Amino acid sequence: MAIKRSATQDRGFYSALFIFSLPIILLLALPLLKMFTSTGIKELLSTLKDVEVLRAIGRSLFTAGAAGLIALIFGTPLAYLLSRREFFGKRFVEGLIDLPIMIPHPVIGIAILGLAAKGTLIGDALLGLGLEIMGTYKGLILVLTFVGAPFYINSAKAGFEAVPKRLEHVSRSLGAGPWQTFFAIALPLSWRSLLIGIIMCMARAISEFGAVVIVAYHPMLASVLIYERFTAYGLTYSRPVAVWLILISMVLFVSMRLLSKKERTF
């Protein structure tokens, strides 16, 4: 009898939670649902015949992938360091990593231009090396790495923290050095978190707009193309491109959720 009463109470409790959650669920779902239902299959397919759209989506995927690769190469050592060592200023470094998530994105573009634009010390040095930031792929990748890297680093850090330290201690006690232990123990056991981090970094990079338009309006990414078509032609011409971008993001996040689920059941 007590078990039945408890089950009834649980159903009532979770039903109330769902009812109170419904407004935020509808807020997230209805705009996206309206966008999909307002865009026909013919519109989506005809959009794929637009060379400008295909090139913009290709640029977004390329630059986001480059940002993910840079985050992997340079963010992995930082993530492992933060997961394994305590050092002076660690909390400051962790806060610095999270800062790009919080600050307004146009501010990011302005900050990067202020540092690397022509006429600045670093900007002139980069120009001397043939690396121009304003209006180039290099500038786009720099911006997208800035906004996406925190997601990779935090995911990789969580993955490394989930690896039992005793396994690394055993490896060291058997004569393996720190580099060998890192590549033989830490990386293989945390690869899902690293891959999830790359996906999150790419998804965040694909969605970036505010910083991109300041640093490099051209070459045009998909997010900028959507804005340009909306301001010039309205919803009719911008919506199909937006739907394709949502579909790409959905594929990335579904992949991330599948990997997360497998990681939890591992």
- Asked if 90 contacts 82 with a C-beta cutoff of 8 angstroms, the reply is yes
pLDDT value for 266: 41
Q: Tens-digit pLDDT profile for the chain (266 aa)? A: 555 666 677 788 888 999 999 999 999 999 989 888 888 888 888 888 899 999 999 999 999 999 999 999 999 999 999 999 999 999 999 999 999 988 888 998 998 888 887 777 887 888 788 788 888 899 999 999 999 999 999 999 999 999 999 999 999 999 999 999 999 999 999 999 999 999 999 999 999 999 999 998 889 999 999 999 999 888 888 899 999 999 998 888 888 888 876 555 44
CA–chain centroid gap for 142, Å, is 14
**Nearest C-alpha neighbor of 53 from the set 184, 221, 256:** 221
Contacts of residue 63, defined as CB under 8 A and 6 or more positions apart, other chains included, come to 137, 140, 141, 144, 205, 221
Helix 137-162 and helix 105-116: axis angle, to 10°? 120
> Residue 136 in 3-state DSSP?
coil
Architecture of the domain made up of 53-265:
Orthogonal Bundle (1.10)
Helix 137-162 and helix 90-102: axis angle, to 10°? 130
Domain ranges of the chain: 53-265
**Nearest C-alpha neighbor of 79 from the set 195, 202, 194:** 194
Give the CA diameter of the chain. 81
